[in-house]
Amino acid sequence: LAIRVNPAFVRSNEVRSLCGSNARVESVIGSLLSIPLEETLSWMLHD
């Protein structure tokens, strides 16, 4: 999967990389649903 970014739409102070753990939110609300990437992309492209 190749992702291209148009520099004209990137803010000068944009965070380039953001990572973390969802352990804290899972401890509060329970486990999260795992939605396959293909399903998400289909939803984004067709709806």
d(Cα 18, Cα 22) in Å, to the nearest integer?
A: 13
pLDDT class of 31 with cuts at 50, 70, 90 = confident
C-alpha distances in angstroms, 17 versus 10, 21, 30?
13, 14, 26
pLDDT, residue 6, reads: 93
Residue 1 lies in a domain: no
Chain segment 2-25, per-residue pLDDT in tens = 989 899 999 999 888 889 998 998
pLDDT, residue 47, reads: 65
d(Cα 23, Cα 31) in Å, to the nearest integer?
A: 9
Q: Quote the number of domains for the chain.
A: 1
Residue 2 lies in a domain: no
Average pLDDT over residues 17-45: 91
Domain limits at 13? 7-46
Residue 39 lies in a domain: yes
